[in-house]
């Protein structure tokens, strides 16, 4: 509907411009009237509409909330491009179905248990010098303290690390200026040990912390052995942010419930929510992570559950940990692009508080503290570091920044508004209503040293009356807002039907360099050649006692092998390599009754493994409509009962062919060859070498034509012996290869025509 509406609008605009009265029944005015659109609506449509084949300026990577996935969409079109399976199996991508990706999910086990979801909150894009470099994406799971690494070269999850200390983790993922570390802070205090510790020992045995996961940029992997945690009191750590510029060696983490209140109405105690917001202030926890890393290198950390831990005692003695009071129950903490200020959003306060990093350092250097907390951590007085406080409205949650100097945007959850304000001068500039209850907000590059401004996305918790009702569970609503002018303008509502998307980051599209195929025989999860890769014509089945191992391939429109035989109780292992080079020629592989669903992108090798524990017939097939003969891309796993003796001879299967059928097939093949020759003639008459996708297609088509030649030779040989049965079958196979070649060739031809190829002399 949306698309149609937009087409109509564009047609309308074009018509209005050209003033063609011949198209009078489709003028912009008429469409506007029929659909009840205002001028403002049409302007908003024109600002977001992206014509077919058009590209977006930004790609947004949104947390998929409880779905444990990441979703990718374009800005300003708000078109969804992809879901990336992260903490959760995702069948389309075969994620959690092939052995390679199962190994990634297995890294996320908690105490040996598979966790099949994640509560994904904060994606973070990798940075170089404080700006997105478009290489990696990280995201946390709050419920099962984990961080995942996604490679933006192929948009796949490569690694999951599980925090061995925490029982929940909210303040991640945030990266330091050069992605040296990925920050993850705890949330609900719990003992570091896996043992039972009574709540009565909360103050002494329960702990929080901030973990700094070391990231190896060359390998694209987190190195747990080089990571460390700074132990913190059992305050509920909330969001974090890494410093920038002058503050780049520090990180900042909010907290709530510094009362250390333990609820339990079951025990006659007032509930958590009452006791956790009793005090007027909580603490900002600031950590000198650069110095902390040096302490770890100097052997001053203690190994707990395999993690390097800097105990609070050490952190205090070494002067790397400080507290600053902040208005009670704060939420987001956001460092300004120049790194000079830290914005604290007070959930239960109508103000945002802006702290000066310079003042923080002055207090640290002068050792000017107003006291210590119960764990001996020095407390810096709020009035000593406050730059300004600005009254924005009810429920400020998160802040992001504009390209314009000193301009920030803060989400107001309770007010359902977004405030634009000046954090240098401390004044409100503009407000816009959103629908409804905004959590995070995001401006383009809004958490980097170099924000672009332009657009803002409001990530709303409630959608209430915005969309067609779909039952009691509503989608979430991402609202796109134009922030380029003096007044913020709402442009678009995008329902998100996946989970609560807490945070999103938008990377300029030209910073991303995604691949279109893998090197042939690639294990995408380890980023290495697969030990199980197969080349064309080298497919094989190895049968050993109790095991059938297949080294197969897929290429339009054929799965090799077409028949796999096993005996009841055998372990069946199937490795499949997609031999395609052509763009977007993914094959799938699904099998009856075995929970097998693979996605094999061009070049990829994947493996499925299962026990054929019941005798029977198990058809398998390709699940991507990859060519005209996609439906024929099929085969059978035959699982025989133990000790099975054949009673039917092979020859009885299928139809019987005559000479007439052989002749008819050959005539068809000659005609088909005519079509192929004309397509080849066109392609080779053009400068097709200048178009890499076409070059890849030509290679694929040439393969198919070579296979056709082999099949033709077999057909000829059978016919020469008067064996019309095999003659007709091989003639048909010859035609199958021709059809594939023609299909690939026609796509290449269309590509050349669309991309303006030129004849070569
Ligand atoms: Cu505010 Cu998890 Cu960042 Cu949700 S958090 S909104
Ligand atoms: Cu391959 Cu359908």
**Residues 110 and 159: beta-carbon distance below 8 Å:** no
Q: What angle do CA 168, 171, 173 make, to 5 degrees?
A: 105
In a domain, 650, yes or no: no
247 & 393 share domain: yes
- The percent of the chain in helix, strand and coil, each rounded to the nearest 5, is 25, 35, 35
Could you tell me if 505 and 535 lie in one domain?
no
Residues in contact with ligand 1 by the CB-under-6-Å rule are 121-122, 170, 239, 331, 397-398, 439-440, 502-503
- Give the span between the Cα atoms of 77 and 35, in whole angstroms: 20
CA-nearest residue for atom 2, ligand 1, is 121
Of the candidates 3, 1, 2, 31, the one whose C-alpha atom is nearest the C-alpha of residue 15 is 31
pLDDT confidence of residue 693: 83
448 with 418, same domain?
Answer: yes
- 245 CB-contact burial (10 Å; exposed 0-12 / middle 13-18 / buried 19+): middle
Give the lowest-confidence range in 9-13, 105-109, 115-119, 416-420: 9-13
Q: Of 594, 609, 640, which residue constitutes the final position of a domain?
A: 640
For residue range 535-583, what is the model confidence (pLDDT) as tens digits? 888 899 999 999 999 999 999 889 999 999 999 999 999 999 999 988 8
Specify the 3-state DSSP secondary structure of 599.
strand
What's the pLDDT score for residue 750?
87
Alpha helices in 251-373 (DSSP H): 272-275, 289-297, 312-317, 357-365
Pairing type for strands 596-600 and 587-591 reads antiparallel
Confidence check: pLDDT of 24 > 60: no
Number of domains in the chain: 4
CATH number of the domain enclosing 538: 2.60.40.420
Instruction: Report how far ligand 2's centroid is from the alpha carbon of 524 (Å).
Output: 20
Neighbours of 360 (CB within 10 A): 22
Query: Is residue 562 situated within a structural domain?
Result: yes
Closest ligand to Cα 632 = 2
Strand residues in 10-104 grouped as ranges (E) = 58-63, 69-75, 80-85
Check whether 10 has a pLDDT greater than 90.
no
Same-domain pairing of 670 and 718: yes
Residue 374 neighbours by CB distance under 10 Å: 9
Q: How far, CA to CA in Å, does 38 sit from each of 15, 28, 31, 44? A: 18, 11, 11, 10
What are the two backbone dihedrals, phi and then psi, of residue 161, each rounded to the nearest 5 degrees? -115, 140
Give percent above pLDDT 90 in the chain.
83
Q: Measured from the CB, is residue 630 less than 6 Å from ligand 2?
A: yes
Q: What is the pLDDT of residues 192-249, one digit of tens each?
A: 999 999 999 999 999 999 999 999 999 999 999 999 999 999 999 999 999 999 999 9
For residue 653, what pLDDT band results from cuts at 50, 70 and 90?
Answer: low
Place of tokens 């698309």: 3
Nearest alpha carbon, ligand 1 atom 5:
502
Question: Is 60 exceeded by the pLDDT of residue 656?
Answer: yes
Average pLDDT, the chain: 93
Q: Is the minimum distance from the CB of 260 to ligand 2 under 6 angstroms? A: no
Q: What is the pLDDT of residue 12?
A: 46
Q: Which of 485, 511, 537 is the last residue of a domain?
A: 511
Query: What's the CA gap between 491 and 468, in Å, rounded?
Result: 19
Q: What is the CATH number of the domain that holds 327?
A: 2.130.10.10
Please tell me the number of the ligand nearest to residue 582's CA. 2
Give, in order, the Cα–Cα distances in Å from 215 to each of 32, 306, 584: 53, 17, 31
Q: Is residue 516 part of a domain?
A: no
Q: Give the model's pLDDT for residue 44.
A: 97
Q: What is the dihedral sign for C-alpha 662, 668, 671, 676?
A: negative
Q: Give 464 Cα–ligand 1 centroid separation in angstroms.
A: 19
Residue 120's closest CA among 436, 496, 400?
496
pLDDT tens digits, 135-176 = 999 999 999 999 999 999 999 999 999 999 999 999 999 999
Q: How confident is the model at residue 594 (pLDDT cuts 50, 70, 90)?
A: very high
Cα distance between residue 248 and residue 291, in whole Å: 12
- In this structure, the residue with its CA closest to atom 4 of ligand 1 is 502
Residue 625 alpha carbon, nearest atom of ligand 2: 2
Domain of residue 721, residue span: 659-754
Structure tokens at 701: 């088509």
Radius of gyration of the chain (CA): 31
Residue 325 belongs to a domain: yes
The verdict on 507 and 530 lying in the same domain is no
Vertex 120: Cα angle to 119 and 126 (nearest 5): 160
Looking at the structure, tell me whether residues 583 and 691 fall in a common domain: no
Angstrom distances, CA of residue 552 to CA of 412, 535, 559, 635: 56, 9, 7, 12
Give the whole-angstrom CA distance, residue 401 versus residue 438: 16
pLDDT number for residue 652: 60
pTM: 0.89
State whether 491 and 540 are in the same domain: no
Q: Are residues 577 and 673 located together in one domain of the fold? A: no
In angstroms, the CA 745 to CA 752 distance is: 11
Query: Does residue 646 sit within a domain?
Result: no
Sign of CA dihedral 103, 106, 107, 112: negative
Is 494 among the domain residues?
yes
Helix (H) or strand (E) holding 598: strand 596-600
Q: Counting ligands in written order, which one lies closest to the CA of residue 239?
A: 1
Q: Which element (helix H / strand E) includes 433?
A: strand 427-433
**For residue 247, is it within any domain?**
yes
Instruction: Report residue 673 as tokens.
Output: 């060859």
Within this chain, do residues 486 and 572 fall inside the same structural domain, yes or no?
no
Q: Which H or E run includes 136?
A: strand 131-141
Calculate mean pLDDT across residues 731-735. 91
Above 80 in pLDDT, residue 738? Answer: yes
Q: What ligand is nearest to the CA atom of residue 65? A: 1
Res 650: pLDDT: 59
Tokens of 406: 């000193």
- Is the model's pLDDT at 610 over the cut of 50? yes
Whether 712 and 749 share a structural domain: yes
pLDDT, tens only, 396-433: 999 999 999 999 999 999 999 999 999 999 999 999 99
* Average of per-residue pLDDT across 90-110: 98
How much distance in Å is there from the Cα of 103 to the middle of ligand 2?
Answer: 26
Q: Tell whether 503 and 635 lie within a shared domain.
A: no
743 lines ligand 2 (CB under 6 A): no
Half-sphere exposure of 138 (CA within 13 A, CB side): 29
Q: What are phi and psi of 540, to 5 degrees?
A: -155, 160
For ligand 1, atom 3, name the residue with the nearest CA.
502
Residues 476 and 581 in one domain: no
Q: Mention every residue, 6+ apart, whose C-beta is less than 8 A from residue 729.
A: 657
Q: Which of 589, 608, 640 finishes a domain? A: 640
Distance 253 CA to ligand 1 centre (A): 14
550 CB neighbour count, 10 Å cutoff:
23
In a domain, 149, yes or no: yes
Say if ligand 2 is within 6 A of residue 626 CB.
Answer: yes
Q: What is the pLDDT of residue 537?
A: 82
**Helix/strand/coil for 307:** strand
Helices (H), 270-410: 272-275, 289-297, 312-317, 357-365, 382-385
Asked if residue 2 has pLDDT above 50, the reply is: no
Tens-place pLDDT, residues 451-504: 999 999 999 999 999 999 999 999 999 999 999 999 999 999 999 998 998 999
**Position 754 confidence tier, pLDDT thresholds 50, 70, 90:** confident
Confidence of residue 20 (pLDDT cuts 50, 70, 90): very low
Are 186 and 177 spatial neighbours (Cβ–Cβ below 8 Å)? no
Question: How far away, in angstroms, is 598 Cα from ligand 1 center?
Answer: 34
Cα–Cα dist 476/438, whole Å? 10
Calpha distance 242→172 (Å, rounded): 10
Tell me how far CA of residue 133 lies from CA of 151, 455, 499, 724, in angstroms: 12, 20, 27, 63
- Determine phi and psi for 238, rounding to 5 degrees: -115, -130
- Specify the residue with its C-alpha closest to ligand 2, atom 1: 587
753 vs 55, more confident? 55
Ligand nearest to the CA of 397: 1
- Tell whether the model's pLDDT for residue 11 goes beyond 50: no
Residue found under tokens 């007085």: 381
Nearest-atom number in ligand 2 for the CA of 624 is 2
Pairwise pLDDT comparison (490 vs 24), residue with the higher score: 490
Distances in whole angstroms, Cα of residue 625 to Cα of each of 19, 74, 265, 708: 43, 25, 57, 22
């Amino acid at each position: 509907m949306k698309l149609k509406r937009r087409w109509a609008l564009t047609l309308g605009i074009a018509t209005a411009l050209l003033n063609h009265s011949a198209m009078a029944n489709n003028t912009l005015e008429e469409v506007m009237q029929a659909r009840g659109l205002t001028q403002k609506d049409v302007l908003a449509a024109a600002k977001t509409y992206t014509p077919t084949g058009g590209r977006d300026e930004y790609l947004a990577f949104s947390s998929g909330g409880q779905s444990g996935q990441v979703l990718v969409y374009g800005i300003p079109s708000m078109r969804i491009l992809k879901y990336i399976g992260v903490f959760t199996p995702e069948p389309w991508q075969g994620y959690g179905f092939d052995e390679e990706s199962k190994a990634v999910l297995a890294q996320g086990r908690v105490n040996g248990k598979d966790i099949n979801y994640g509560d994904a909150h904060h994606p973070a894009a990798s940075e170089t010098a404080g700006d997105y470099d478009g290489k990696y994406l990280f995201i946390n799971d709050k419920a099962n303290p984990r961080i995942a690494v996604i490679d933006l070269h192929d948009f796949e999850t490569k690694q999951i690390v599980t925090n061995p200390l925490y029982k929940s983790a909210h303040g991640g993922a945030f990266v330091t200026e050069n992605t040296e570390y990925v920050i993850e802070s705890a949330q609900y205090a719990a003992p570091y040990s896996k043992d039972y510790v009574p709540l009565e020992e909360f103050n002494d045995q329960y702990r929080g912390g901030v973990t700094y996961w070391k990231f190896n940029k060359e390998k694209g992997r987190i190195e747990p052995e080089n990571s460390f945690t700074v132990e913190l009191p059992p305050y509920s750590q909330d969001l974090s942010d890494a410093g920038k510029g002058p503050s780049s060696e520090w990180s900042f983490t909010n907290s709530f419930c510094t009362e250390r209140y333990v609820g339990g109405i079951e025990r006659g105690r007032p509930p958590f929510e009452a006791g956790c917001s009793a005090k007027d202030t909580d603490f900002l926890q600031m950590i000198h992570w650069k110095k902390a890393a040096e302490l770890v290198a100097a052997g001053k950390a203690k190994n707990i559950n395999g993690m390097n831990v800097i105990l609070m005692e050490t952190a205090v003695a070494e002067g790397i940990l400080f507290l600053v009071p902040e208005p009670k129950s704060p939420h987001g903490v956001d460092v300004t692009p120049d790194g000079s200020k830290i914005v604290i959003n007070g959930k239960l306060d109508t103000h945002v508080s802006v702290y000066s990093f310079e003042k923080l350092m002055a207090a640290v250097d002068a050792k000017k503290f107003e006291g210590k907390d119960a764990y001996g951590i020095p407390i810096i007085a709020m009035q000593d570091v406050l730059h300004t406080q600005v009254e924005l409205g009810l429920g400020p949650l998160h802040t992001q920044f504009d390209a314009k100097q000193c301009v920030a945007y803060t989400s107001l959850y309770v007010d359902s508004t977004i405030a634009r304000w000046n954090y240098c001068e401390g004044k409100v500039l503009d407000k816009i209503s959103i629908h409804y209850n905004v959590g995070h907000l995001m401006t383009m590059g809004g958490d980097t040293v170099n924000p672009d401004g332009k657009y803002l996305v409001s990530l709303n918790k409630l959608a209430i009356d915005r969309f067609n009702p779909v039952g009691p569970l509503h989608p979430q609503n991402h609202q796109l807002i134009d922030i380029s002018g003096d007044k913020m303008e709402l442009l678009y509502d995008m329902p998100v039907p996946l989970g609560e998307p807490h945070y999103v980051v938008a990377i300029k599209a030209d910073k991303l360099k995604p691949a279109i195929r893998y090197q042939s025989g690639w294990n995408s999860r380890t980023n290495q050649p697969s030990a199980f890769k197969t080349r064309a014509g080298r497919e094989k089945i190895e049968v050993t006692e109790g095991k059938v191992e297949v080294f197969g391939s897929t290429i339009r429109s054929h799965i090799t092998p077409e028949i796999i035989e096993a005996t009841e109780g055998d372990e069946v292992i199937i490795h499949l390599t997609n031999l395609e080079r052509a763009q977007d020629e993914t094959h799938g592989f699904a099998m009856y009754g075995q929970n097998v669903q693979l996605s094999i992108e061009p070049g990829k090798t994947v493996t499925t493994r299962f026990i054929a524990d019941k005798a029977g017939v198990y058809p398998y097939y390709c699940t991507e409509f990859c060519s005209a003969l996609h439906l024929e891309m099929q085969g059978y796993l035959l699982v025989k009962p133990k000790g099975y003796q054949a009673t039917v001879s092979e020859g009885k299967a299928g139809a019987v062919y005559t000479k007439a059928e052989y002749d008819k097939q050959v005539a068809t093949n000659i005609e088909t060859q005519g079509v192929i020759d004309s397509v080849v003639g066109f392609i080779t008459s053009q400068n097709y070498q200048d178009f890499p996708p076409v070059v890849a297609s030509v290679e694929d088509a040439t393969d198919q034509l070579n296979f056709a030649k082999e099949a033709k030779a077999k057909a000829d040989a059978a016919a020469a012996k008067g064996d019309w049965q095999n003659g007709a079958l091989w003639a048909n196979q010859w035609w199958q290869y021709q059809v594939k070649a023609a299909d690939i060739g026609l796509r290449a031809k269309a590509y050349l025509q669309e991309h303006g190829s030129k004849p070569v002399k």
